[in-house]
Structure 1
Amino acid sequence: MPRPLTLHEDRLFPADAGARAIARRLHAEVKGLPIISPHGHTDPAWFAGDAPFPNATELLLAPDHYLYRMLYSQGVRLESLGVPSRSGPSGADPRKAWRTFAAHWKLFRGTPSSLWLTHVFVEVFGLDVALSPATADLYFDTINAKLATDAFRPRALFERFNIEALATTESPSDTLEHHRAIRASGWAGRVITAYRPDPVIDAEHEDFARAMERFATLSGEDVTTWRGYLEAHRVRRAAFKEAGATSTDHGHPTARTADLTAAEAEALFQVVVSGKATPEQAELFRAQMLTEMARMSLDDGLVMQLHPGSFRNHNAWLHARFGRDKGADIPTPTDYVRALKPLLDRYGNERDLSLIVFTLDESAYARELAPLAGHYPILKLGPAWWFHDSPEGMRRFREQTTETAGFYNTVGFNDDTRAFLSIPARHDVARRVDAGFLARLVVEHRLDEDDARDLLVDLTYNLPRQAYRLDHGQPGKPVPGAREHSP
């Protein structure tokens, strides 16, 4: 007999009865607020074409490295899960792949993936029995049948999820055609882009040369010269703003920044474009470009995001066979105090610049990031990220940063996901965890419940809107605070 599947109404709330009651009241105030998703990796083509999602495997399993990295760690081949490789789409039968997933579902007990997917199964698809080998086909058929209906097309789900704004992430060599199609369609859903220049900044990126060629074509600039290269960034940033972008995003290996002289920067650039840069020169160029991006953000008002500290593609064999973003990125220790100093020396006291910093190194929360954000006007702390966007990770973030940075030097929650259907689940987890954290402060008489309620609304809705300038970042409209700035 299949076990029933339910979502407990008190999930993630404190065990203490008094705190749990307060958390319930606080959560009730924000449960229905619109979702602000200012940083993520969903595919804009979904919303441009509004075609039905194909099946459960291609929607929920094959794109989600949170899921298949766990399965891979237990010896399951990615080919059997429908994960595409460098040679093309997977030849795996979607139903067989789903059965393989169901047979290994126990691996996710107690994990964030289990929380998110259970929410999707119950709230989105109305399933009421637990996933298992015996129910795998029931799940597959039920999900597929619903995906074939108009109510489960991308735009209908976007509206059902109460998403107010959703940002995707594209590189400067992206044509942004899907964003243009969304805007031309007349659909009211706000799907915007974010400028991720890594492929044309990171000389160690395997696609660097090809990306630079596309960069030159799309910008119309000569990117073999330092002046032309910088101008190409300005041209593409303007195009991204026209497509709704309010932010940039930088996924560098470290948080290192640099402030070279113009002559030094130009000489370094020539080495980089020659294809002969050493690892140290490639790192220095990335560091210099963060400072250059800050300079440009002062001009055009785009908010900067820095996501450092991941050793990308650690599994060389997997990278060669399947490409990037296949679950083999590993966190590394990350320095911020010294690494950010060149940029902060130049721009740290600007009131019109905003830099949101994330980390995979939790040891930096209390020691470095909270003190930095609690002082410099340009710095804000991004939420618990990637390996740490779990209930425990979110609590650790609040516990270690609040005493020095407070709440208002943070930016609320963003889901940072490719898994579209998990977005409401991830935001629900964040809202519940924050409700529980604030309830504890109320019980300890460190915070009034009315203040806690107002604060939770800010953390859920107001702070992300403000931090990402979504109030005034509409396409074609100037961003308040943008101004002329001479180098």
Structure 2
Amino acid sequence: MKNDTFIHENFLLSNKYAQELYHDHASKMPIIDYHCHLPPKEIAENKVFENITQAWIYGDHYKWRAMRTLGIQEKYITGGASDKEKFEKWAQTVPYTLRNPLYHWTQLELSRYFGIDQLLSPKTASEIYDQASLQLNTTAFSTQGILKKMNVEVVCTTEDPTDSLEYHKELATSDFKTHISTSFRPDKAIFIDHQGFIGYLRSVEEASGVAIQNYQNLKYALVKRIEYFHENGCRVSDHGLNYIPYISYNEAEVTKIFNKRIEKQNLSAEEILKYQTALLRFLSQEYHSRGWVQQFHLGALRNNNTRMLKELGPDTGWDSIADYPQAESLSRFLNSLDLEDQLTKTIIYNLNPADNEVMASMIGNFNDGSVKGKVQFGSGWWFLDQKDGMTKQLNALSNMGLVSCFIGMLTDSRSFLSFPRHEYFRRVLCNLFGQEIEQGELPNDIPWIGQIIEDISYNNAKEYFNFK
């Protein structure tokens, strides 16, 4: 195909220093994708996609939001239109995504996976669909083939405590070189106020073999599942919360609160917070005892559109940035664990850019010298995993802490075609340093700064997680 794209070898690299840092240091580093939502079943079965729509558009609510904004009907997004028709509607949308990260990602992904350097538009849609789909129908582009092609060393997926981990077990005994790990995400056990809470407890009972009749039973059941995950290689937890809850409580109070919920009585806001604080602290103590890393994704306002939630369900593109107060309860929660020397390695991801400096300064309160970068300000995620969001996160972390200790990027994606986001991040990172070298704000010491770039791109995460 004709090369008419702007994605060239020095894309986003504005000077010779940035280019040298990227090409000689960042680009060669393997990928550790320590948080994503890839389906382990598809990795274990080495799935081959029938066409690019299945690999690229299914489940991608970033693209869905853009298509809806342009006025594309839902049948071409999540509905019954054919895969070819859905791709054509996405191709119609792409030229209108200028200045949205989707525009950059689209062209990067077409280039890096398929060698397609032509801009996607209605004019090129049919040809690109056929060429990409033809390549996807080969073993080189199976799920395992894609991970190998993109030099992915580690993938850490995200599973509920009730998950059997059958596919992780299968992969652990296979000859596939990429290490596929899991993270433990017990949010449904924490959200006591959610409608499905009692039904979820039955699922935990079945998975753990523990009858859950009271709060102590629940804690025991979750410990059993933590032990099961640990035995199967898990060393990471993850929590998707509006904010970190913290309110004073005692065990007797929490036991009564749990009993009230089991009896289907209404709980007050204070009772909900007491339960959530107690259970989250308990889980964090369990993570600490096993040397796990805990992750907190904070600041999303989910499921805003009730009508579409009822029609399509969660995680379909109806979420946004929230403005919850974060600092005080987060400080009290982390401090309560640190007081007992039970604060494990912790990553805090922030979705509201107004809170970047809050988070970047907060982590310094609990970096106690025991571990390099023990408490991390995580990379820009969701709405912030784009050039401006990444730059603001890097600047806040640089100003308030040590960006040299940062563990770098992750995809947080459901798509096997998202790994160029690591390249995107690395280019942004190198350009940031390169510009400051050119401006005389950093020394022209490429060997040393190149080492820092390699550490942020790969080495720090390798050391921090210590995946086996």
Q: What range describes the TM-score normalised by the shorter chain of this pair?
A: over 0.9
Of residues 17, 23, 42 in structure 2, which corresponds to 1:22?
17
What do the CA deviations read for 1:51-82 (whole angstroms, capped 9, x no partner)?
Answer: 2112211211121111011111232233222x
| Alpha-carbon offset, residue 376 of structure 1 | 0.9
Aligned 8 A contact 2:249 2:274 in 1: no
Let me know the Cα RMSD of the aligned residues: 2.0
Which residue in the other structure is 1:374 paired with? Answer: 364
| Structure 1: gaps of 5 or more residues | 15-19, 84-89, 475-487
Question: Alignment partner of 2:347: what SS?
Answer: strand
Aligned 8 A contact 2:246 2:273 in 1: no
| Alpha-carbon offset, residue 228 of structure 1 | 1.3
Q: Is 2:11 the counterpart of 1:11? A: yes
Instruction: State how far apart, in whole Å, the 1-side matches of 2:50 and 2:262 are.
Output: 41
Question: Alignment partner of 1:193: what SS?
Answer: strand
Aligned 8 A contact 1:203 1:277 in 2: no
Q: Is 2:237 the counterpart of 1:242? A: no
Question: Alignment partner of 2:390: what SS?
Answer: helix
Which residue in the other structure is 2:460 paired with? Answer: 463
Q: Is 2:297 the counterpart of 1:311? A: no
**Greater Cα shift, 231-240 or 333-342:** 333-342
| Alpha-carbon offset, residue 262 of structure 1 | 1.6
| Alpha-carbon offset, residue 441 of structure 1 | 3.2
Which residue in the other structure is 1:63 paired with? Answer: 59
| Structure 2: gaps of 5 or more residues | 368-373
Which residue in the other structure is 1:363 paired with? Answer: 354
Aligned 8 A contact 2:12 2:431 in 1: yes
Instruction: State how far apart, in whole Å, the 1-side matches of 2:117 and 2:398 are.
Output: 39
| Alpha-carbon offset, residue 300 of structure 1 | 1.6
| Alpha-carbon offset, residue 174 of structure 1 | 1.6
Q: Is 2:446 the counterpart of 1:449? A: yes
Which residue in the other structure is 2:160 paired with? Answer: 171
Instruction: State how far apart, in whole Å, the 2-side matches of 1:233 and 1:363 are.
Output: 35
| Alpha-carbon offset, residue 204 of structure 1 | 3.8
More strand by proportion, 1 or 2?
Answer: 2
What do the CA deviations read for 1:439-472 (whole angstroms, capped 9, x no partner)?
Answer: 23333333443331111111111222233x2x2x
| Alpha-carbon offset, residue 298 of structure 1 | 1.6
Identical-residue share of aligned pairs (%): 24
Question: Alignment partner of 1:248: what SS?
Answer: strand
**Greater Cα shift, 61-70 or 336-345:** 336-345
Which residue in the other structure is 1:123 paired with? Answer: 112
The amino acid of 1:245's aligned partner reads C
Aligned 8 A contact 2:185 2:238 in 1: yes
Question: Alignment partner of 1:192: what SS?
Answer: strand
The amino acid of 2:112's aligned partner reads E
| Alpha-carbon offset, residue 336 of structure 1 | 2.9
Aligned 8 A contact 2:405 2:460 in 1: no
Which residue in the other structure is 1:38 paired with? Answer: 34
Correspondences of 1:161-240 after superposition (within 5 Å):
161-240=150-229
What do the CA deviations read for 1:375-426 (whole angstroms, capped 9, x no partner)?
Answer: 2125221111111111111111122221111215532111111121111x10
Aligned 8 A contact 2:409 2:425 in 1: yes
Instruction: State how far apart, in whole Å, the 2-side matches of 1:143 and 1:204 are.
Output: 45
| Alpha-carbon offset, residue 234 of structure 1 | 1.1
Instruction: State how far apart, in whole Å, the 2-side matches of 1:454 and 1:409 are.
Output: 12
Q: Is 2:425 the counterpart of 1:430? A: yes
| Alpha-carbon offset, residue 259 of structure 1 | 4.8
What do the CA deviations read for 1:231-274 (whole angstroms, capped 9, x no partner)?
Answer: 11111112222332221111112222345222122222223333
What do the CA deviations read for 1:255-312 (whole angstroms, capped 9, x no partner)?
Answer: 2234522212222222333343436133443333221221111212221111111111
Instruction: State how far apart, in whole Å, the 1-side matches of 2:281 and 2:404 are.
Output: 25
State the number of aligned residues. Answer: 457
Of residues 320, 326, 344 in structure 2, which corresponds to 1:330?
320
Which residue in the other structure is 1:348 paired with? Answer: 338
Aligned 8 A contact 1:12 1:436 in 2: yes
Which residue in the other structure is 1:477 paired with? Answer: none
Which residue in the other structure is 1:481 paired with? Answer: none
Cα distance 1:67–1:296, how it changes in 2: closer, same or farther (>3 A)?
same
